[in-house]
Amino acid sequence: MDILEKFKKEALRRRYSLRTISTYSFCIRNFLNYCPKEPKKFTKKDIKDFLNKVSEGGKSGSTINVNLQALKFMMEYVLNKRKYFYDIKYSKVSRRLPTVLEKEEIIRLVESIENKKHKLMIKMIYSAGLRVSELLNLKIEDINLMNNFGYVRKGKGNKDRLFIIANSLKQELFNYIVEANLKQDSYLFNSYMGRMSPRSIQEILKKAAKKAKITKRVHPHALRHSFATHLIENKYSICDVQSLLGHKSPETTMIYVHMVSPKMIAVRSPLDDLQLENGCEKNVCEIKNFERRRLLEDEYKNLSI
């Protein structure tokens, strides 16, 4: 029985993305190498032992959970063993705040890119909150310049969604399409060798960040994080941002609320009500002066008597 081939057929039938299929195949292949048994003889202990091995290798909770998801799919939908995962718990995943660039840093980053096409690509990612794969899969037929929107086709989760096109990019996009003589079914961004790779965009950003003297770790997804955070700073609702990012749940989008500039959050620190000038020094001095005045007043009363 070729487990991997059966898995791929079942995953394709369920319309899983090629990226997910590739990731799950890698996990399943590692498990099959770790446990060279007849597939029908796989046990819950085999699964747990393998996950423990992955965990001992210092892998993150997310990596362990991906392996568990892949093996769960294999056992349930390929081997028809659905009772094996009832008491295998997912690993706790640490929630880290994403890298977000300030608006001034976005300006410096974009202005540091000299190549017109590269600059347009980076502006597209930031202006619409696109993933790299979504940008590279855009076709001319997906873009509606007249009405300032476009469509992501088969994005994450194999879903289509609408994205916005910035007014300031319309003419630049139009000129680029005309100059490149692109047809309706052409990809918007290609290299002279064919399809561009995500690695190319990572390198563009890496060089631009260095030239702009930005010390943060700048990667394509940081532009997507910045897009979402800046929208919330501009007073757009979580629902608006969730829809544009293509998130299933508003809880996923809520993380960007934690990233907005403090001045945008309508909560006033109690320290501000103390109206301090130099930290706590002024407050301490005022307390001491109050105590000194009180003692002098007491002495004055005693003299008067």
Q: Name the CA dihedral angle for 15, 19, 21, 26, rounded to a multiple of 10 degrees.
A: -170
pLDDT at 84: 62
Beta bridge partners of 139: 187
Cβ within 8 Å of residue 120, ≥6 positions away:
169, 172, 173, 176
What's the DSSP call for residue 82? -
How far CA 245 is from CA of 33, 146, 202, 231, in Å, comes to 38, 22, 20, 11
Q: How far apart are CA 282 and CA 276, in angstroms?
A: 6
Position 139 scores a pLDDT of 92
Q: What one-character DSSP code corresponds to residue 276?
A: -
Backbone angles phi, psi at 154, to 5 degrees: 55, 55
Roughly what angle, to the nearest 10 degrees, separates helices 238-245 and 220-233? 160
Please provide the DSSP assignment of 28-40 as one string.
HHHHHHH--S-GG
Domain boundaries, the chain: 3-78, 103-262, 274-304
- The amino acid at residue 59 is K
The residues that bridge with 152 in the sheet, in sequence order, are 161
Same CATH topology for 3-78 and 103-262?
no
Architecture, CATH, for domain 3-78: Orthogonal Bundle (1.10)
Q: Tokens 């001319």 label which residue?
A: 140
Which residue is it, tokens 């969730």?
242
The pTM assigned to this predicted structure is 0.68
Residue 86, token pair as written in the block: 């009832």
pLDDT, residue 56, reads 85
Torsion, CA 45, CA 47, CA 53, CA 54, rounded to 10: -160
**The predicted structure's pLDDT at residue 303:** 44
What is the 3-state secondary structure of 208-270? HHHHCCCCCCCCHHHHHHHHHHHHHHCCCCHHHHHHHHCCCCHHHHHHHHHHCCHHHCCCCCH
Q: What is the CA radius of gyration of the chain?
A: 28
Per-residue pLDDT of the chain (305 residues; tens, 9 = 90+): 588 999 999 999 988 888 889 999 999 999 999 998 888 888 888 988 999 888 887 788 888 889 999 999 998 889 888 766 656 777 776 667 788 899 999 999 999 999 999 999 999 999 999 999 999 999 999 999 989 899 988 777 677 888 989 999 999 999 999 999 999 989 999 877 777 888 999 999 999 999 999 999 999 999 999 998 898 888 888 888 888 888 877 777 777 776 665 555 556 667 666 755 555 544 555 555 555 555 555 554 454 44
> Tell me: domain 103-262, CATH 1.10.443.10, correct?
yes
Residues serving a catalytic function are 131, 156, 221, 224, 247, 256
